[in-house]
Structure 1
Amino acid sequence: MIYVNRTLKLIIGFAISAAGLWYAFREMNFNELIEYLSQTNLSYILLAMLIMVASVALRAYRWQLMLKPIQIFTLNPLFGSTMIGYFGNGVFPFRLGELLRAYAISRSNMITASVAFGTIILERILDLIGLAAMMIFFAIFSPLMEWSGKILIGLVVFTIGGLVFIIWLGKSHSNFHDKFVHWKLFQTSTGQKLLGNIQNVFTGLTSIVKTKHSVQLVLLTLMLWVLYYICIILVVFATGLKITWVAVGIVLIATTMAIIVPSAPGYVGTYHAAAVYVLVNIYGAGLTESQAFAVLIHAIGFIPLVFIGFGYFLSSSIHISDLKQEEIIA
């Protein structure tokens, strides 16, 4: 049954990506697209790629601060593990990158993969808070964001509520394991292992309760979004696309939300469809230049991170089959 569900998820993801690619490129003039891409200023594209790599270093530093209540880490293994995560999300289905990232950091350090995975979940909640902040900011300057009011309210409630819930859990249920260890469900060896895994994820997830770097975590999260915004601005400079600074923010928000949608590895199709839709339907940009822009903003995040991540993946000697033995997916 598990394999049927995975197969179904895989089919759905590829189908959604195919639909996204069809929408974005259904009226593509290949020669015009190549011509437009050939006129791109590569200096700006390379700079955007470097900033994307720098954003991973910043993300690794934020992860380092999140992990401090659990264990002290140097930055290099965290950077490498994060890159492996991007590689995994870029080439493997089921968003395996997050599991690979947790497993990679657990191989050479005194931390279990399930604890690391808990901190990664916490990291994603911080990212959602950053996204909500971006939406609120650009909603002030763009009446076009009015249509997404319900989405914005839901996102804010979910992220802030989730963070408050995690803090409450960490403070009032720190002895999580002791509360449930006597349940009949957890009396077997399998049940004990399951409870141990849940406790480990819980430990990572609630690490924010013990952190002394709350302000830094918030500032680093905002800095990440600023870097992502700068990357898209650089692609605007590279292509000469005529859009406003607010439009750049709306493109960033739309493509980020597209990443959440189930898709083929690398967010292919969904990402491109979101960018083309915003540029053509909302801001009236030309179809060919919008398609080229979508290709480029996807490439600046995909190419450097996947290739660097692949290098770290090879040097780590990790095999995908190892994950089947790992407790975070046991």
Structure 2
Amino acid sequence: MKTFLQNAKRWLPGAIISLALVAVILNAVDLPSTWRAIRAANYTLLLAAAILSVIWLMVRGIVWRTLLKNRPSYRDTFITVGEGYLMNNFLPFRLGEIGRAFLLSRKTELSFTEILPTIVVERIFDLIISAAILITAVPYVAEAEGTEQIGYLIGGVVLIAIVALYIIARNQKWALNLFNKLTARIPKLQGLGSGLVESLLAGLSVFTEGWLFLRFLFWILINWAIAIFQYTLIIAAFFPQATLIWGLFGLGAAAFGNAIPSLPGAIGTLEAAIGGALNLLSNDMSTALAVALVVRLYNYAFTGIVGVYGFTTEGETLSGIYQQLKDFRKGGS
């Protein structure tokens, strides 16, 4: 009972947010209109977006393998990426991130502690890029003046963030000592965070290897560019007047919708983020929901195929890996 209550404190807030947003969405849309929008969509554009979804997933494998310095095979890396997204879609607490580090460590000679920092670095850059995309699109959506200056400001913030990470990477001992000094009066936080900080610092070593960092930056920017065009095509399949700005705004909103605490797979938060963003542009929440449902379908379908294939060939199941991850986390705590 005690364990259940402890777990409930972690998953209940996200569940409440998800269910509340689902209720709000259902109250705001006309489901028959959503269904009509799906039937009337431009399926040529949706097919092109589906192809881009597959390409995006393949490039994401290259992004992660670059951070891993190409030590695992591409096959192992790609399949583990799919398994990670599959776990995130169906398991709580975003276990897919820990899960793919755990699974890849069993397929290769790399240790869990070597792999996890690369995922942290990948997520940091995803956050920086998604923030830049969203904030860049907002002035155009709001038809505000001064968008050029805002673009420069965003570029400056992103550049400062990258420079700060580079400085930390070059001065890891100083950064760790600073963390220990700041948390000296909070032993529990220091105990919980020191291992994570050390792992993050190890992952930041990519900044000190110029050619490796440039290759990683190239591939992750290509990955996000593919996502922008994919979202633009999906949106244009339902809103013919859509432009690239719509794709930027929708993708940026979706990225932050995924980051909000929720049920597995960002149930409710993804639909609310994409639907809300497109409703601002079109004033048509029912059709906006159709776009969000297609995005969810693609997320589940393509990563699911790769993930299920990986689990099947490795003799794993979602429930089995969930139990293994719980046991692993207990053993590491």
TM-score (normalised: structure 2): 0.80
CA contact (8 A) 1:17 1:270 kept: yes
Q: Which residue of 2 aligns with 1:19?
A: 20
Counterpart of 2:314, as a letter, is: S
CA contact (8 A) 1:104 1:316 kept: no
CA contact (8 A) 1:10 1:264 kept: yes
CA contact (8 A) 1:232 1:252 kept: yes
CA contact (8 A) 2:80 2:100 kept: yes
CA contact (8 A) 2:121 2:200 kept: no
CA contact (8 A) 1:258 1:270 kept: yes
Q: Which residue of 2 aligns with 1:9?
A: 10
CA contact (8 A) 1:106 1:113 kept: yes
Q: Which residue of 1 aligns with 2:87?
A: 88
Counterpart of 2:213, as a letter, is: S
Choose from 312, 325, 328 the match for 1:326: 328
Matched position secondary structure for 1:26? helix
Count of matched residue positions in the alignment of Structure 1 and Structure 2 = 315
Q: Which residue of 1 aligns with 2:171?
A: 172
Larger mean Cα displacement after TM superposition, 128-137 or 219-228: 128-137
Choose from 306, 316, 320 the match for 1:308: 306
Q: Which residue of 2 aligns with 1:66?
A: 67
Please tell me whether residue 266 in structure 1 is matched to residue 268 in structure 2. Answer: no
CA contact (8 A) 1:18 1:269 kept: yes
Matched position secondary structure for 1:76? helix
* Cα distance in 2 for residues equivalent to 1:197 and 1:253: 27
* Cα distance in 1 for residues equivalent to 2:308 and 2:156: 35
Larger mean Cα displacement after TM superposition, 96-105 or 228-237: 228-237
Please tell me whether residue 30 in structure 1 is matched to residue 31 in structure 2. Answer: yes
CA shift for structure 1 position 47:
2.9
* Cα distance in 1 for residues equivalent to 2:137 and 2:240: 20
Counterpart of 1:300, as a letter, is: Y
Distance 1:139-1:27 versus aligned 2 partners, 3 A rule: closer
CA contact (8 A) 2:88 2:95 kept: yes
* Cα distance in 2 for residues equivalent to 1:9 and 1:200: 23
Matched position secondary structure for 2:277? helix
CA shift for structure 1 position 212:
2.1
Q: Which residue of 1 aligns with 2:281?
A: 283
Distance 1:176-1:137 versus aligned 2 partners, 3 A rule: closer
CA deviation vs aligned residue, 1:176-222 (integer Å, no higher than 9, x gap): 999x9xxxx9xxxxxx9x98886555423434323522222222222
Distance 1:38-1:142 versus aligned 2 partners, 3 A rule: closer
Larger mean Cα displacement after TM superposition, 240-249 or 162-171: 162-171
CA shift for structure 1 position 116:
0.7
TM-score (normalised: structure 1): 0.81
Q: Percent identity?
A: 21
